Structure 1
């Protein structure tokens, strides 16, 4: 008889690139790689360089005055991790008419997103559609 093993989602390697998605209405999600790159914090500060149009996430203690808590998406244990950024995106005039995803990069401990890049438009995979070509870390 064959020696079967049960395939589980945890056997699939995680995406190694940090992806950040700004969803409609300003909620932001970080994939597991982005969360890990930040050191798996409980909270982040939201940063913005208006001249360069670079958004940043910096890990902070959840008790910090400007902390935004990170929470795992309901029902998922390995991300994506959600940040409520509606006020932030409205204040800085960041377009949230469609959901977009960017590859992030670390710069001196800050996970950066260059908003001068157009990003990739993403659609929800909740209907079971894979039209976005994304992975399970997309929201």
Structure 2
């Protein structure tokens, strides 16, 4: 395998806010972006069709449109996850590739301009690796967190698969 040039756009600076929409419609916020919505535990998802801007607005869990914001990591503050599959499907938001944007704040909402291409994010999960002979290494691989698994945990608040009509 040859050398690969590191593209610094692939990894945001820790202090710069970023919002990522993953292939399955999961929205993840880095710590800086989550701070911009006051580290909300629940949010409402909004969309401006004319401007093609997606927004997250902090709300309390009593809101009928509240989505739970889950921690993306058990290792402390970091990514915050919102399961938004129905939202992205309803508005036709492209989820064929994982993309990251630099958000902005408007009227107290965390906004993403979807007319901008965003940065395509590629991970190493699809790469094939040789089977590990070392049991300790295998245990570490099993312990690695899968962000999609965290996002798909059952939770009545923010579970966009329920029908409240």
TM superposition score normalised by structure 2? 0.66
Cα shift at 1:80: 0.6
Segments of 4+ moved more than 6 angstroms: none
Looking at structure 1, the residues matched to 124 and 20 of structure 2 have their Cα atoms a distance apart, in angstroms, of 13
Q: Which residue of 1 aligns with 2:23?
A: 24
1:50 to 1:126, Cα distance in 2 relative to 1, 3 A = same
Gaps spanning 5+ residues in structure 1: where?
1-13, 128-138
User: SS at 1:88's partner residue?
Assistant: helix
1:12-67: CA deviation from partner (whole Å, max 9, x where unpaired): xx722210000001011000001111101111000000110000000000221100
Is it true that 1:92 corresponds to 2:95 in the alignment?
no
Gaps spanning 5+ residues in structure 2: where?
1-12, 127-146, 148-165
Cα shift at 1:74: 3.6
Equivalent residues, number: 116
1:47-106: CA deviation from partner (whole Å, max 9, x where unpaired): 000110000000000221100000011423112100000000000000000000000011
Q: Which residue of 1 aligns with 2:105?
A: 106
Looking at structure 2, the residues matched to 76 and 21 of structure 1 have their Cα atoms a distance apart, in angstroms, of 20
TM superposition score normalised by structure 1? 0.78
Q: Which residue of 1 aligns with 2:79?
A: 80
Looking at structure 1, the residues matched to 74 and 52 of structure 2 have their Cα atoms a distance apart, in angstroms, of 33
Looking at structure 2, the residues matched to 125 and 47 of structure 1 have their Cα atoms a distance apart, in angstroms, of 32
Task: Quote the RMSD (CA, aligned, Å).
Answer: 1.8
Q: Which residue of 2 aligns with 1:121?
A: 120
8 A contact 2:18–2:100 mirrored in 1: yes
Looking at structure 2, the residues matched to 47 and 26 of structure 1 have their Cα atoms a distance apart, in angstroms, of 14
The structure number with the bigger radius of gyration is: 2
8 A contact 2:73–2:79 mirrored in 1: no
